[in-house]
Chain A
Amino acid sequence: MSTVSPTLLEARAIAKHFGGVKALTDVSLSIRRGEIYGLIGPNGAGKTTFFNVLTGLYHPDGGELHFDGEKLQASAPHKAAQRGIARTFQNIRLFGNMTAIENVMVGRHVRTRAGVFGAILHDPFTKREEAAIHRRAEELLHYVGIDHRANDLAKHLSYGDQRRLEIARALATEPKLLALDEPAAGMNGTETEELRVLIEGIRADGITVLLIEHDVKLVMGLCDRVAVLDYGVKICEDIPAVVQKDPKVIEAYLGGSVA
């Protein structure tokens, strides 16, 4: 493609089942460059399954994903990261016995090249690269606001800081699409507000964001467009104002509580 397509990610009829349970049934959606796209739905609706297919952890039973103009190889997580998809996990997955800054430095792995010989010999290239990795990691810790915890082990950070660290680590891979799996889970009002500001900042830096979230207020306030999954089927995809009024959505998920 010569011109850059406005669509960053296109999912075509993604299907995934576990045994007899259909976790996803022909889910198609497209995410545009530069938007914050929300994916919501009741528990067990298949949001995280979709995430895992997208990031290569699950092999889809049907359908395909196109990312940035090219087909995305199924079930190859490290290639998804290489292509520019970074993610966080619903139940935070940090490298607990590494320091915060080391966690972020691991995120730089995919964009750096030094090998065994470079590591042993410390040639000028490796030295420069290592310094750059370190500098970038510091910047990112500062960006998410936990630079004061840089040398603490990840497992010793507070819950909110761990969430931030996971985002910093994901950003370190220089993603085009940042996929956040329930980043506000377990956060209080202030923390959620700080998270909202952080996500908007990330978008302002030109990174497209895919957000799975339970906090409806956060999603509706933050997202440009929202898709709703229910029992593995996409029942709605539109701007928040429309989604909120969709009777199917209200019935399936909102239960009329947000009107």
Chain B
Amino acid sequence: MTTLTLESLRHDKRAAIAATAVLGLVLAVLPFAVGNALGNSWLRIVDFALLYIMLALGLNIVVGFAGLLDMGYIAFYAVGAYLYALLASPHFGLHVPIWVIIPCGAVLAGFAGALLGAPTLRLRGDYLAIVTLGFGEIVRIFMNNLNAPVNITNGPQGISGIDPIHLGGITLAKPLTFLGFTIPSLHAYYFLFLALALLIIFVTIRLEDSRIGRAWVAIREDEIAAKACGINTRNIKLLAFTMGASFGGVAGGLFAGFQGFVSPESFNLMESVMVLCMVVLGGMGHIPGVILGGLMLTVLPEFFRHSAGPVQQAIFGKILLDPEALRMLLFGLALVLVMLYRPAGLWPSTTRRREFKGESTTDVLKEGE
């Protein structure tokens, strides 16, 4: 047997189908395995990992494909989350259904993305980074302060009592009974998030291998040459911002429904940095790498959080170092080390040898959906 690599999967249809089946089975069983073996707190973390993967894939369009450094990306997540919170909570007494809110969140966040992009896209790389960072902070400061004189966001206290996600008459807040199976709430959220994450992965793959995706990468590689090829770089960059932001908006809405509570603290700069790190550490512009990055940076810090205290307890008999500080310290160290030793990320796209004669990459991956 040859080793199973993505490359070989592209060539061997049967292997691809088999791998897909295995992956599908693993993904289907995962919440039950995690829930039973590690407990519900870890299942929550897995659910969050799916949200972060959506975010990372959205940011990857902006940073990875188009090469635009956006450091305020979490603002779009906030837009989606606050939209959900305002439209489906006792705060205004509104209870708009999710299938209205989530698309609206995507559109509104996309609009915010275009709004931010329009005046700033002429800026060079690092300047763009700082302006987007400033934009993210502005959004957060407004969320923090728009509780007076008219109470819109409820300020630093945030909005609580947000409706759980419900579809038709089914709410995900309670265990679902389905063909005799009972699916607990966290598991149901898992499947919903998984479905949307897969949808976003599908959309991203399709975009990457399209006229628009090529234009994004062309701009990243050489903007002047891209212009000379007739690409309207301003519009295409705006499109990247809009698409990326709309993914953030979707994830934000899901977050609000899942968490039941939003406050400005969930959308601080550190969160933007986190998502950026997922993209860069995973392997910018490489979809599997970005997914890996999202997964790792959600799970590892939680792992440190859970183990930093007990391990010290076991070794020293008491907690010497603040576990939270220790966790972040290790995180910072990991960022530096990965960049020093693997500047292209942990799983960068290798020389892509695509078989253009015969099936294109998309066709093979389509079967993997």
Contact = CB atoms under 8 A, between A and B. Distances in A.
| Real binding pair | yes
Interface of A: 55-57, 77-78, 80-82, 86-87, 89, 93-99, 101-102, 105-112, 114-116, 118-120, 122, 126, 129-130, 133-134, 138, 150-153, 156, 169-170, 172-173
Nearest to B363: A122
Nearest to A86: B228
Contacts of A115: 212
Contact of A122 (B206, B213, B352, B354): B206
Nearest to B233: A78
B230 A78 contact: yes
Interface size class of B (residues with CB under 8 A): 20 to 34
Among B213, B215, B231, B362, chain A packs the most CB atoms within 10 A around the CB of B231
Given A122-B206, A151-B354, A81 B228 contact: yes
A109 B231 contact: yes
A114 B227 contact: no
B211 A98 contact: no
B352 A77 contact: no
B226 A153 contact: no
Contact of B221 (A96, A122, A134): A96
A119 B354 contact: no
Interface in B68-98: none
B329 interface: no
B227 A118 contact: no
Given A111-B230, A118-B210, A153-B351, 11 more contacts: A77-B227, A81-B229, A82-B230, A93-B228, A109-B215, A116-B212, A120-B203, A122-B206, A151-B352, A151-B353, A151-B356
B224 interface: yes
Contact of B228 (A77, A102, A129, A156): A77
Contacts of A56: 227
Contacts of B212: 114-116, 119
Nearest to A174: B230
A172 B356 CA distance: 18
Given A114-B211, A114-B212, A106 B203 contact: no
A81 B210 contact: no
Contact of B206 (A120, A150, A153): A120
B214 interface: yes
A94 B206 contact: no
Contacts of B232: 78
A138 B360 CA distance: 14
Contacts of A118: 210
Interface string B197-239: 0000001001101111111011001101111111111000001
A114 B125 CA distance: 28
A97 B211 contact: no
Nearest to A152: B351
A82 B222 CA distance: 19
A71 B84 CA distance: 51
B280 interface: no
Contact of A106 (B207, B224, B226, B362): B226
Interface in B295-339: none
24 contacts: A57-B227, A77-B228, A78-B227, A78-B230, A78-B233, A80-B228, A81-B230, A89-B225, A94-B225, A105-B211, A106-B214, A106-B215, A109-B214, A109-B218, A109-B231, A110-B230, A111-B230, A114-B211, A115-B212, A116-B239, A122-B206, A122-B362, A130-B210, A170-B228
